[in-house]
Amino acid sequence: MNVVQKWLKASLPCVLAFGIPLTSAADTLSNIKASQTITIAYRESSVPFSYLVDGKPVGYSMDICLKFVDAIKKELKLPQLKVAYVSVTPTTRVAAIADGKADIECGSTTNNAERRKQVGFTIPHFFASTRMLVRSDSGIKNWPDLKDKKVVTTKGTTTVKLLNDRDKVRGLNLRLLEGADHKESFEMVDKFQADAFTMDDVLLYGLRANSKTPQKFEIIGDALSTEPYSIMLRKDDPAFKDFLDREMARMMNDGEVTKLYEKWFKKSIPPNNINLNMPMGFLLRDNIRFPSDKVAD
């Protein structure tokens, strides 16, 4: 028995040990079967995880969620299962899941203890580090250089607390600003309304790559924290979580997640065909080898 099989046996005793159908206890799966529709919450500018190209949501997280959809079609024997989409922002995404407006959220959402009070999360499919984007001619190289500077982050994200904590410890006297979404935060740096945009590094790479003038910006600074990204789902549906975790573990074990990573982080991506050229971090490599939903808060 390999590592994934052992994990599955430990995590899904009702399914693997006793053979009870997942649909018997999964409210979400039952609702999907009844409506013959699954609703996916997506982000409009979280490159390369979930963003719009020609009006259609695409990205690394979206591809993973569409594989979930394929597994649900097979489980429920609904080959014509419809997929509905709902756009969410950092401030609306948790409520969209908690209130039942969407079945899964496929974006760039950090799995942390505070959010787990309201929603559930699958096995993480990415680990990001919090850094900052600045203009290449700014002279800013690390966090001490931000003293008395204007720093923006996106409203509703975990980075707000990190910035406040860093400001208190270092006495930087930061002027903290908040953008409505990642696109607005990026534009504030571009328009000289802020000196730096602090966020998960991969999102910064994506925003820079898809800008009209990528060479004007650079991603710098020591990592403030490591953020595990996971697909979000309802908190009160453990059977649905088990189903998604089992499928995520299978995708990791079969090399599908690695192939999707290479597609979105190591090759040219739409709409501007720019390559992020971002190597896979060691935390994700380890999680692919030994799939687990356990994260450090």
120 forms bridges with which residues in the sheet? 233
**Alpha-carbon Rg for the chain in angstroms:** 20
The string of DSSP codes covering 104-126 is: EEES--B--TTGGGTEEE-S-SE
Cβ-contact 101, 28 below 8 angstroms: no
Tokens 């939903």 -> residue:
293
Which strand (E) or helix (H) includes residue 286? helix 282-289
Degrees (nearest 5) of the Cα angle 180, 112, 230? 80
Residues 1-41 pLDDT 10s: 544 444 444 544 333 333 334 333 349 999 999 999 999 99
Quote the pLDDT of residue 186: 97
Q: How far apart are CA 52 and CA 127, in angstroms?
A: 22
- Which two three-digit tokens encode residue 293? 């939903």
51 forms bridges with which residues in the sheet? 45, 58
Residues 262-288 pLDDT 10s: 999 999 999 888 889 888 888 999 999
- Which two three-digit tokens encode residue 117? 């009070």
pLDDT tens-digit profile, the chain (297 residues)? 544 444 444 544 333 333 334 333 349 999 999 999 999 999 998 989 999 999 999 999 999 999 999 999 999 999 999 999 999 999 999 999 999 999 999 999 999 999 999 999 999 999 998 999 999 999 999 999 999 999 999 998 878 888 888 777 578 899 999 999 999 999 999 999 999 999 989 889 888 888 888 899 999 998 888 889 999 999 999 999 999 999 999 999 999 999 999 999 999 999 888 889 888 888 999 999 999 999 987
Tokens 């697909």 -> residue:
231
Q: How far from chain centre, in Å, is Cα 143?
A: 25
Cβ-contact 145, 184 below 8 angstroms: no
Quote the pLDDT of residue 16: 33
Domain 129-226 has CATH 3.40.718.10: no
CA dihedral over 110, 278, 281, 217, signed as positive or negative: negative
Which strand (E) or helix (H) includes residue 197? strand 196-200
Name which of 103, 117, 127 is nearest 230 in CA terms.
127
| Domain range list for the chain | 3-125+230-289, 129-226
User: Do 3-125+230-289 and 129-226 agree at the fold level?
Assistant: yes
Quote the pLDDT of residue 159: 86
Which strand (E) or helix (H) includes residue 177? strand 175-179
- Which two three-digit tokens encode residue 243? 């189903």
178 forms bridges with which residues in the sheet? 153
Name which of 145, 200, 157 is nearest 181 in CA terms.
157
Q: Is 252 helix (H, G, I), strand (E, B) or coil?
A: helix
Quote the pLDDT of residue 9: 46
Quote the pLDDT of residue 125: 98
Fold of 3-125+230-289: D-Maltodextrin-Binding Protein; domain 2 (3.40.190)
